[in-house]
Every structure is written in structure tokens, then in C-alpha cells.
Structure 1
Amino acid sequence: MTETQSGGSVAAGGDLRPTVERHTQDIAELRQDVGDIKRSQNALRDEVIGMRAEGKQWRASSDQQAETLRASITSLTQEMAVRNGVDQERNRQAEESNRQSQLRTEALKRLSIWVGILTAILGLLGTTLFSSQTFDTAFWGHFRTHPRTEAQANATPNH
């Protein structure tokens, strides 16, 4: 072996034991380093596996939360639609009731106007007719309102 190949001085007299021992130590150190690297790789692999498992668990939990949120939103949307429908129906019924009330009020107004007009016409007719002396005499003249007493001068004996 040359000096550059062995990494040190050439063994004197052909004795290679120190070189072999040094190489054996180097190989043992390399094996130990490789073992350390393998343990580190195994530890990293285990960590990566753990992180993947945590990631999957987090994703599953996140998906479950998202599904729960979607279901809640859907339920809330349906409830709001029902409430809006109930409110709309209630408003429609109130409007219908108001419309019927207005129609009744308008009918009563028309009726009261007609009754007023009829009363006015009858009142005018009555005052016109009953204030006339001719009608008075013709109508009330046939009724005796008080007993007639004749004066003594005009009295005729009853024989």
C-alpha cells in the first residue's frame, strides 16, 4: 500500500496489523455511523408516519366539522324558509282580513249614504206635504182630535 492509499504512513517491514486495526476501527465507526443514520431515518420515518396519521385524523375531523356545519346551515335555511312561509301566510291573512274589513266599511258607508239620502228626501217630502194647509185640512179634517161641543146658541132641542 502506498501512503496515500492507507491515509498515513506505510507500515514498516511489511507489518500491516496497525493499518488493518485502524481500518477495522474506521469500519466499526462507519458501521456505528450507518447504524446511527438508520436509527435516525427510522425515527424520522416514524415521525413522518405519525404526522401523516395526525394529518389524516385532522382532515377527517375537519371534514366531519364541515359536514356538521353544512347540515346546520341546511337545517337553518329550511327553518328560515318555513318561518318566512309562516310569516308570509300570516301577512297574507292579515291583508285579506284588512281587505274584508275595508270592504265592509265601504259597504256600510254606501248604506249610510243611501239611508241619509232617503231620509232627506222623505223629510223634504214630509215637510212639503204636511205644511200645506190644503193637505192639512184634507187629511186631518176627518179626524176628531177633541170632542165637539156646540155653543148653546146654536143648540137645537132634542125632541
Structure 2
Amino acid sequence: METTTTTKLDIRSIFGTSLGHFAPWLAAVLLITWSGYPGVICITPMAWLLAISTGAACSLRSKTQKSSTRLLETALAGGILGLLQGVLFFIITPFMGPIKPEEEANTLILKLIMLSAGILIGAVLSLFSALSMERRKKKEVYKHKFENYMRDLGL
């Protein structure tokens, strides 16, 4: 049963999309880390690009009618994806080896940067991807209306 909502956020779409896009990254990082290469976590900035497909998928999957609400949902989904990737970075970093006491402060700063940048970049990439999807949807709607209008005129 499909229900559409006008103002409420589609929480299932937000979390389902972000978790669905995080799962392959989590599996890859865990598998490679357990294989003895925990440094794989250092390519987390590349994983932020997953937010592009998260935005598109969340926009298509959402049951919200209002475009601005769908865009908010996609930004939240991208932010959640970035948060999850940042938390994974926090968890895996200690497995990379011992950290010298004088480097602990720098390591914490790096972790916090990765966490906050992941949230921000994930939300922005996801939002721009969804904006592109919304623009394409509007073009298709206008094209369809124009074709119907021309057909009604007999042209």
C-alpha cells in the first residue's frame, strides 16, 4: 500500500537509503581490515562520493509530495551516511597501529575533521544530486503536459 505524505518526512526512505549505501562500504572496510590492511579507512573521502547516489535514490524512493521536503530528506540521508562513515573511521583508526602519546591530540583532531566533513560533504553531495533529479522530473512533467496540450489542439 503506497501512501504519500505532504509535509512529514519519509523516515524510512532517509534511513533505508543511507544504510543501504553504507552497508557495502562497511563490508569492504571490515573485510580489508580483517585481511590485515586497516589503512583502507584512509580512503574514506572517496567513500563520501556514495552520497551522490544516496541523494538520487532517496529522491526517487521518497513518498513525500512536496519537493522541498524531499530535498531535506536527501540532505539528511547524505548527512547520516557521512556520520556513519565518520563513526567507522573512529572505530577502525586504532587498528592501524599504536599512536604515540604526542600524536594523540592530532589523531583526535583528524577524526573529528573526518566526522564533521563527512556529514557536511555527504549532505551537500546528496542534496545536489537530488536537485538534479528534481529538475529532471519537472522537465519530464512539463514535456508531458506540452505534448498533451499539442495533441489536444490536433497538432
TM-score (norm 1): 0.32
Structure with the greater alpha carbon radius of gyration: 1
Q: Which has the higher contact order (CA 8 A, sep 6+)?
A: 2
TM-score (norm 2): 0.33
